[in-house]
Amino acid sequence: MATELPTTDIRISTEAIRRRKGGTPIVCLTAYTYPVARLLDDHVDLLLVGDSVAMVLHGHKTTLGASLEMMIAHGQAVMRGSARACVVVDLPAGTYEDSAALAVASARRVVDETGCHAVKLEGGVDMNRQIAAIVDAGIPVMGHIGLQPQSVEKDGGYKIKGRTEEAVAALLRDALAVENAGAFSVVIEGTVETVAADITRSIAIPTIGIGASGDCDGQILVIDDMVGLTVDRVPKFVKEYADLRGVISHAAETYAAEVRSRTFPGPGHVFSATKSRDDA
């Protein structure tokens, strides 16, 4: 169960995440809402308000449905529910790619309006100027290389990365570019296992794997995938640790049956005419 939010400042900083390179694996999950952030906060090191929210909660086919306003609203909700974890918010597609100035402006707005501790953006060599500019502006950045969901339309779908020598070399260049630009960590997604492991050994900042390698410095999953709540296709790399689809479906079925049979609401769920201990 979620605990009461502590009043002391016990935040895990981005610098603390950086120092975890090669140490105890970094535990990361996505979060998009206040109650989920409350439930996860005691158990994770980092909460990512991912642009996957566009698909998971808003029903878009890709992450391209996310807007800056959407990310800010969900970032605010997660920050209200988190007291311990390092909170990172994704910069959505179209808010950073065109120029370093645009990237800094978007990152600044996200941090100022949510209070989050860092932003994440996709890209390697092609985004090193944007990452460096945001870091120079005093905002920590998490990188994201390998399979990049914001580029699925350009790539022709969700394609695993690192299956040719040329692709492997490009991935390493991307990882080094992200590191050299000043990012405190980098997500490696949808990448051949041995390649992700080699990248992890080749750079000095922590790697966070998703569909990558157990040798990465940490792991992340989409919370809805992890708890078995995803109603569409579940990616191969996901392990479902619960079956909330079944739990919710069964609860709704039971509720519907009780409403139709007039067994709900029962005496314990209605109010009497006299004031008593049954006040709402």
- Annotated catalytic residues are 189
Structure tokens that stand for 206 in this block: 């922590």
What are the φ/ψ torsions at residue 30 (nearest 5 degrees)? -80, 155
> What are the backbone angles phi and psi of residue 144, rounded to the nearest 5°?
-155, 115
| Signed CA dihedral, 245, 251, 255, 261: sign only | positive
CB contact set of 229 (below 8 Å; sequence gap of 6+)? 223, 244, 245, 248
Look at residues 87, 85, 90, 84 and name the one whose alpha carbon lies nearest to residue 103: 90
Half-sphere exposure of 242 (CA within 13 A, CB side): 9
